Amino acid sequence: MSLPDRFQAAVSGWLAGHSGSHREGSAALSATYRAGGSSARIDLGSYLVTRLPATFAAVNRVLAELARRRPDLAPESLLDAGSGPGTASWAASDLWPDLARITFLDNSPAFLALAAELARQGPPALAAAIALKGRIDSLTEGAAADLTIAAYALAELPVEQAAATAEGLWRASRKALVLVEPGTPQGFARLRSVRSRLLRLGAVPAAPCTHALDCPMSGSDWCHFSVRLPRSRAHMHAKAATVPFEDERFAYLVLVREGAPPEGARIIAPPQHAKPGVTLRLCTEGRLENRHVARRDGAAYKQVRKLEWGDMISPVTEEDTP
């Protein structure tokens, strides 16, 4: 998953005008990211090189899933809450080119200025985006939109505060709310708390959950997914990396106002392939299960053999018994 051409050109142009080594800033950024610290003092160049591509890849994967599950969504307005450089807005604009109004909301003047500068090279809605300085836990009444996205924003809040903040984001969402967090136990804990609170307010899970029952995850287990993206030369240098790709682990939650949860089962771990068949770890109907699909089960095996971590199995492809 690479950045759209116009976004890549905007980022490359900004970096060309702000030359320097990003290795030291990258190390500090990684430490801040893992600890859920504030983005207020992040080096912008290091962020663009090392975090923006992974953030875009994760958000793009999540929004593509929303578009599959709700093909009639067609949002006209977007609130990018905790926008940073506007990464989620670029991902949304790529999927929904008819977006007419975009609002960047961030507490960092530096990130808001960067988002505006990059957006000027984007499509009309991005180029005309409104920049609001503010905190995601104290939204103003004018911040409502069809679609609200908060990508890697709740991580800066204590777990107990995340659910209350997400309630405000939900109230600002006319059609859908998308939350993306680091694929860590802490990131999942925040989303699990949010899910429980917002379901009581009538929110409908659209992904990754296939039900509105209690989350069956327990103990040291946590729900997360992965997306692979190529590393640029600058990224490899900043990270002192030798592998030309990275795997971004992320957790997410998509809630909508109308409809019902998707029917089927979500693959919540990498499928285990062996000569006899494939074993899948699934979340379905409020429970977790390991399901083996034997190679000899022709049609069923053919339907699942190419599925990946994060994909759905629709009811018509499931065996009658687990």
Query: What is the pLDDT tens value at each position of the chain, 322 positions in all?
Result: 689 999 999 999 999 887 654 444 455 555 555 555 555 567 899 899 889 999 999 999 999 999 999 999 999 999 999 999 999 999 999 999 999 999 999 999 999 999 999 999 999 999 999 999 999 998 876 789 999 999 999 998 888 899 999 999 999 999 999 999 999 999 999 999 999 999 999 999 999 999 999 999 988 899 999 999 877 666 555 565 666 678 999 999 999 999 999 999 999 999 999 999 999 999 998 899 999 999 999 888 998 999 999 999 987 444 444 4
- Residue 23: its pLDDT value, please? 46
- Residue 157: its pLDDT value, please? 87
- Residue 316: its pLDDT value, please? 47
The residue from 256, 275, 299 where one domain ends is 256
Asked if residue 272 and residue 206 are part of one domain, the reply reads: no
Asked if residue 198 and residue 275 are part of one domain, the reply reads: no
Q: Residue 92 is part of which domain span?
A: 5-256
Q: How far apart, in whole angstroms, are the C-alpha atoms of residue 55 and residue 52?
A: 5
Asked if residue 295 and residue 228 are part of one domain, the reply reads: no
* Integer angstrom CA distances of residue 197 from 114, 239, 255: 34, 38, 12
- Residue 159: its pLDDT value, please? 82
Asked if residue 310 and residue 182 are part of one domain, the reply reads: no
Check if the beta carbon of residue 282 is closer than 8 Å to that of residue 268: yes
Name the residue among 228, 207, 184, 236 with its Cα closest to residue 54: 228
The CATH number that applies at residue 109 is: 3.40.50.150
Helix (H) or strand (E) holding 64: helix 52-69
The Cβ of residue 124 has, within 10 Å, a number of other Cβ atoms equal to 12
322 falls within a domain: no
Q: How many angstroms from the chain centroid is the CA of residue 34?
A: 16
- Residue 2: its pLDDT value, please? 81
Asked if residue 269 and residue 245 are part of one domain, the reply reads: no
Q: How far apart, in whole angstroms, are the C-alpha atoms of residue 102 and residue 108?
A: 18
Label each residue of 230-282 as H, E or C.
ECCHHHHHHHCCCCCEEEEEEEEEEEECCCCCCCCEEECCCCEEECCEEEEEE
Check if the beta carbon of residue 293 is closer than 8 Å to that of residue 280: yes
Radius of gyration of the chain (CA): 20
- Residue 97: its pLDDT value, please? 94
Please give the single-letter amino acid code of residue 111.
Answer: F
- Residue 101: its pLDDT value, please? 97
Q: How far apart, in whole angstroms, are the C-alpha atoms of residue 112 and residue 269?
A: 36
The residue from 231, 256, 281 where one domain ends is 256
Asked if residue 247 and residue 101 are part of one domain, the reply reads: yes
Which two structure tokens, joined as six digits, stand for 50?
């090392």
181 falls within a domain: yes
The Cβ of residue 13 has, within 10 Å, a number of other Cβ atoms equal to 13
Name the residue among 259, 306, 255 with its Cα closest to residue 66: 255
198 falls within a domain: yes
98 falls within a domain: yes
